[in-house]
Homo-oligomer: A and B are copies of this chain.
Amino acid sequence: MARPSQPLISVDALVTAALELIDESGDFSLPRLARRIGVSQSSIYNHVSGREEILELVRGRITRSMPLPPPAATWDEVLRYEIRAYRDSFARHPRAAPLLVMQTVRDADVIAFYERLSSALEEAGFGGAEVASALAVIDSFAIGAALDLAAPGNVWAVDPGSGTALARAVDDASRLADRAGTAFEFGLEILLDGLRNRAARI
């Protein structure tokens, strides 16, 4: 074929196809991506530096259009709002979360999200290193909540009728309509409560 007068690939189409593959199968590969767009594998490299950049663009797509907190919100309301919005974004594409863990965040919108968290934490009175610590905790929680959504049906290979505390917990939780959502809201309030307590002691 050689060069067409109109490009066959756009970065946007690439990201859309990658996200579709991730939603369907939990992963994507360049051969399958190329097949879906109807193009040769190697031509992808004319638009993107490789797999890692595609993943980073997927991160951007997922978190795009996160709503901003209302301007009058207090620092803890800002945190609740932002963390929930972040988690909601990943709830729409849970299987993307595991792929994005351990990759440096480059997407400007996601950086802006962490910047808003940092500002709220400074407003709470936390000093620089504490802001970083709090950020790490929030990040763990947010990533964990996203991973939780993509988790295998049973996180633990535990015997249902074994009468242990873990079996009881797993069993009771399985009867909830939205197990992961319930756990997220429970954890969010605990986290905010702990942060408020700590801020009050500064």
Contacts and interface: CB of A to CB of B under 8 A. Distances in A.
Contact of A169 (B98, B132, B140, B150): B132
Given A136-B148, A137-B183, A194-B191, A118 B156 contact: no
Contacts of A180: 136
Interface in A119-165: 119, 121-122, 127-137, 139-141, 143-145, 147-148, 150-152, 154-158, 164-165
How many copies the complex holds: the figure is 2
B187 A129 contact: no
A111 B182 CA distance: 22
Main secondary structure of the interface of A (DSSP, over half): helix
Interface of A: 98, 101-106, 111, 114-115, 118-119, 121-122, 127-137, 139-141, 143-145, 147-148, 150-152, 154-158, 164-166, 168-173, 175-176, 179-180, 182-184, 186-187, 189-195, 197-198
